[in-house]
A and B are shown apart, each in its own frame.
Chain A
Amino acid sequence: TVGAVARDRHGNLAAGTSTGGMTGKRWDRIGDAPIIGAGTYADNRACAVSATGTGEYFIRANVASSICNLMRLTGMGPREAADNLMAEVAELGGSGGVIVVSPQGEAAFSFNTSGMYRGRANSEGLNEVAIFAEE
């Protein structure tokens, strides 16, 4: 799965996700990637989220829109909100990660696997890519 989230100069947010799903999938199985609210969500009032991982758990936990709701309704920052939902995914038995950007332009990652191909950049000069959890 690949995904991106962005905040532009006009303050607008956008999120997108694309995937082949899981190896050997049967019965036209669909995971979270194409499901708005589970694998992808964007709301200028709150956040933009893209998720990757064991889709069934991201659907059950309604991860992407829950992160946005946490940020919008509690004022939580993107990393804390994302960590909350990833903890819930883990409790359910799932694994994976999310990328989040806030209306203020904070870009955050949260994942509970040993690695996530990831990167972020902003107008303050941040520009980094990483693979392993410990990076």
Chain B
Amino acid sequence: TDWAIALHGGAGTLSREAMTPEREAEYTASLQAALDAGAAILAEGGTAEDAIVAVITILEDDPLFNAGRGAVLTWDGGISHDASIMLGDSRAAGATAGTSTVRHPILLAQEVMRDGRHVFLSGAGAEEFADRTELERMEPEWFITQPRVEALERYRANSTASLADDEHRYG
């Protein structure tokens, strides 16, 4: 095999019964588009690095997936993205955590890798590093989607309820 690529968009409790045919078609189309973009780069002799970055940036922009736009929200309803990248020939690597303005977190991780002084930056420091790059920055509203707002409300309601139970449990 000359070239190969694999992608994922997250794993969890997924059942055909719980997913409408339309929803399944949406996810399938998104996965196919991202896969074909990566495969096209490799088929033309492009690098593995370019291929995975192409796939991940497409999925980061797709609100169906938990990354970039449409990622899940923090307890406070905020944005906190994490990403990492690694190359097999040099074992160069870059990672960022807790960023909230960079449209494509995987590109920030790539910038950290290319800078080469560090591997892992987080929070305000990672944002400050991003200020020195040309990477696109977005307002929170761009990242936040209604389904994720509702998911957070359900999560907080459940968490609060279970806390209350805890109190009882301790008598």
Chain A residues within 8 Å of B, Cβ to Cβ:
1-10, 12-26, 28, 30-31, 33-36, 39-45, 47-48, 50, 52-53, 95-101, 103-109, 111, 113-124, 126-127, 129, 131-132
Contacts and interface: CB of A to CB of B under 8 A. Distances in A.
Contact of A31 (B65, B82, B96, B159): B82
Interface in B69-125: 71-75, 79-89, 91, 93, 95-98, 104-106, 109, 119-120, 122-123
A11 to B, nearest CB: 8
Given A4-B52, A8-B46, A26-B75, A120 B11 contact: no
Given A1-B8, A105-B3, 7 more contacts: A4-B38, A10-B47, A16-B84, A18-B60, A120-B35, A126-B4, A127-B35
A105 B66 contact: no
Contacts of B24: 131
A101 B84 contact: no
A4 B5 contact: yes
A interface SS class: strand
A23 B72 contact: yes
Interface of B: 1-16, 19, 24, 27-28, 31-32, 34-36, 38-39, 42-43, 45-49, 51-53, 55-56, 59-60, 65-68, 71-75, 79-89, 91, 93, 95-98, 104-106, 109, 119-120, 122-123, 148, 151-152, 155-156, 159
A7 B4 contact: yes
